[in-house]
Structure 1
Amino acid sequence: MCIQCSVGAEGVNMKSDVRIVQAALNQALSPEKPLVVDGLIGPATISVIDAFQRGAVGLNRPDGRVDPNGRTLRTLKDLQPKAFSSDCLAAVMPTAPLSKIETYYPLMQSASEQDESVSGARRLAHFLAQIGHESLSLYYTEELASGKAYEGRSDLGNTEPGDGVRFKGRGLIQLTGRYNYEKYAEYAGIDTSQPDWPELLSTPEHALKVSLWFWDTRHLQEKADQDDLLGITRRVNGGYNGLSDRQAYLQRAKFFLE
C-alpha cells in the first residue's frame, strides 16, 4: 500500500504517511471542516480516523490507527472518488509546502482537463510520479548546479560561450540546452528577446508547461498507458536513477486516482 508505517494513535506517524491519510479521509468523508493536509498528527486527525473506523469500516473497537496493510486503509482506498484534487496533490507530493500545492494545483487541474497527454488517471499518475521525483515534490524548478558542465555541448545546441550556464536545467522535468529551449520557445510563442528569458522557465506556469511539452513530444503518454514506469524513467532520466522513489510517487498517485 501507499503508506510505509502506521498512522494515528500510537503510530509511527511519518509526515508523508500522515499527509496521505489526512487527504484520504477528507476525500472519503467530505467533512464540513476538512483536515489540514499538513502531515502533523494530532487529536483532530486521530478523532476522524476513529470515527471512520466506527462508521465506514464497521469496527466495534476502533483503535484510531491506520496500518499499511490494514482494513482501514483498504476501506479508505475503496472510498476514494478517483478524482484529482488539491488534497490528492498534497498527499502525492509529501514534502511540498502547502504554498506550493496552492500554486500548482490550479495549473495542474487545468492541464489534466485540457491536455490529452495527461488526461485520465493512469497518464496523470505517471506524470505526477516523474515531476514529483525530478522536482523533489515541486520544490525545485531550476538545476542547482551552475550549468558550466554543459558548456560547449553541441549535442544540446550550446554553441555560444555561456550557453551552458544560460540554458541549464529548468522546469519540473528539467529542460537543458539552447536547442531544447528554442524548440520550447517556438511551441509556447515566447519572445526570447525579453529580459527574463530563459529564466522564465523556472516560473510555475512555464515549469509545468515545459514538462507537459517534454512529456508530449517524447510520447510518454503511450508509455503511461502501458504502465511502463521503467520506459518513462529511462526517457526522462536517461537511465533509472531514483527508480524506487518514482515508484513510491506512482503508488501514492494511483491510490487516489485509480
Structure 2
Amino acid sequence: MVIARSVGIAGRNDLTDVLVVQLLFNMNLPQFSAPVPKKLDTDGRIGSKTLKAIEAFETRVMGLPGSDQMVAPGDATIKALLKGLPKGPSPEKLQLVMPRALASKVKLYYEPLVAGMTRYKITTDLRMAHFIAQLAHESASFRYTEELASGDAYEGRTDLGNTQPGDGRRFKGRGLIQLTGRANYAEYSKAAGTDYVAKPQLLASDPFAAVDVACWFWHTRKLNALADADDVKAVTRRINGGYNGLDDRIEYLTRAKAVLGLR
C-alpha cells in the first residue's frame, strides 16, 4: 500500500509514511467545501495539524460521525484519499511515489519523464509503476544522476569498452539509470544523435539526457515485457545484474501502484 505503517495519534509515524499522508491530504483539498483547510507542511512530522487534517478528512469528506485521528495501511481512509487524487499524471503524484524527493527535483525531471516514457512506450500503468520505482531507487529519489564512486573500478574493463587510459572515470555511471562504459556511451550516442562520448558529463547535467538515457536503456533491454509480467525481481536483475536494493525498489513500486490505482 501507499503507507507501510500506521500514522496518527497512536501510530508508528515513520517519516515517509507521515509525508505520504500529508501529501495525500493536500492533494485532496479540492474535495472540501468551504471553509477549505490550509495545506499541510510536508515535513514528515506528526503533530496537531496533521492529526486535525486526518480528522477533517474523515468527518467532512468521508462523512464519518467521528475520527480517532489515525490511519493504517489499506484502511478506508487511505483508500478514500487515493480515490480522491486528480486523474492523469502530475508532479504531485510523482512526489507521492518519492516522498523524500526535493520538490525542485520533481519539477526538473517531470516533463522529461513524460516525454521519454511516451517516446519509449512506457505508457501503461504497470510499466510506469515499474519504471518510476526503478528510477527512484537508482537515483535515490532524484538525488543523484552520477554514481558517487570515482569510476576507477571500471578502468581497463574491456567488457564495457573501456580500452583507453582514463575510461573508467570518464565513463562511470550517469543518468537516472546509470549508463556505464565507453561502449554503452557510444551505443547511446548513436541512438540519440549526440556525441556523449565526447561530452559524457551531459548525461548527468542535462535533465532531458539523464531521463532519455534511462528510457533508452529500459527500451533496449526489453524491460517493458518484464514490467508487463509484473516481475520486479526480473526487472531488478536486468538493471542491476543482481538484487541489490530489491526491498527499496519494491517499496517504491508498491507506492507507485497505489498512486496509479493498481491493486
TM-score after normalising by structure 1: 0.90
Partner SS state of residue 149, structure 2: coil
Report what 2:172 is aligned to. 168
Q: Which runs of 5+ in 1 are unaligned?
A: none
| 3-state SS, counterpart of residue 230 of structure 1 | helix
Kept after mapping to 2: 8 A contact 1:117/1:215: no
Deviation, structure 1 residue 192? 4.5
Q: In structure 2, the residue corresponding to 1:129 is in which secondary structure?
A: helix
User: In the TM superposition, what is the alpha-carbon distance from 1:193 to its structure 2 partner?
Assistant: 7.4
1:3 aligns with 2:6: no
Query: Share of identical aligned residues, percent?
Result: 50
- CA 1:9/1:106 → structure 2, altered by over 3 Å: closer, same or farther? farther
Name 2:236's counterpart in structure 1. Answer: 233
Q: Deviations over 1:138-160 (max 9, x none)?
A: 11111111111111111100111
Q: Distance in 1 between matches of 2:250 and 2:92?
A: 20
> Which residue pairs with 1:199 in the alignment?
201
Name the amino acid aligned to 1:90.
Answer: Q
Post-superposition Cα deviations, 1:14-61, rounded to whole Å, max 9, x if no partner, equal 221122223323444436765454434444443332221013433211
Provide the rounded CA distance (Å) in 2 between the counterparts of 1:40 and 1:187: 46
Q: Distance in 2 between matches of 1:121 and 1:68?
A: 21
Please give the root-mean-square deviation of Cα atoms over the aligned residues, in Å. Answer: 2.1
1:183 is aligned to 2:190: no
What amino acid is aligned across from residue 64 of structure 1 in structure 2?
A: Q
Partners of 1:212 and 1:36 in 2: CA distance: 33
Structure 2 unmatched ranges of 5 or more = none
Please identify, of 9-18 and 26-35, the stretch whose mean Cα deviation from structure 2 is larger: 26-35
Residue range with higher mean Cα deviation, 5-14 or 153-162 = 5-14
* Structure 2 counterpart SS, 1:109: helix
Match of 1:107 among 112, 116, 141: 112
Are the aligned partners of 1:142 and 1:202 in contact in 2 as well (CA < 8 Å)? yes
Q: 1:73 aligns to what?
A: 78
Contact 2:136 2:252 in 1 (8 A): yes
Question: Aligned partners of 1:65 and 1:217: how far apart in 2?
Answer: 45
What is the CA–CA distance in structure 1 between the aligned matches of 2:64 and 2:239, rounded to whole Å? 45
1:255 maps to what in 2?
A: 258
1:100-139 mapped onto 2 (5 Å cutoff): 100-112=105-117, 114-139=118-143
Distance in 2 (alpha carbons) for counterparts of 1:15 and 1:55: 26
In structure 2, C-alpha distance between the alignment counterparts of 1:116 and 1:38, rounded to whole Å: 35
Count of matched residue positions in the alignment of Structure 1 and Structure 2: 255
Q: Which residue of 2 aligns with 1:83?
A: 88
Equivalent position amino acid for 1:158 in 2: N
Q: Residues 174-230 of structure 1: CA distance to partner in whole angstroms, max 9, x if unpaired?
A: 000000001111111113576xx1111102221111100000111111111111111
**Cα deviation 1:72-111 (Å, max 9, x = unaligned):** 1122233334532211111211321222112112222333
Confirm or deny: 8 A CA contact 1:37 1:87 kept in the other structure: no
Show the counterpart of 1:47. Answer: 52
Cα deviation digits, residues 220-258 of structure 1 (max 9, x gap):
111111111111111000011111111100000011112
Q: What letter corresponds to residue 198 of structure 1 in structure 2?
A: P
Taking the aligned partners of 1:166 and 1:218, their CA distance within structure 2 comes to 23
Distance 1:156 1:206 in 2: 20
The letter for the 1-side match of 2:186 is: E
Partner of 2:101: 96
Q: TM-score normalized by structure 2?
A: 0.88
Aligned to 1:60: 65
Structure 1 residues 104 and 43: CA distance shift in structure 2, 3 A: farther
**Distance in 2, Cα, partners of 1:193 & 1:4:** 43
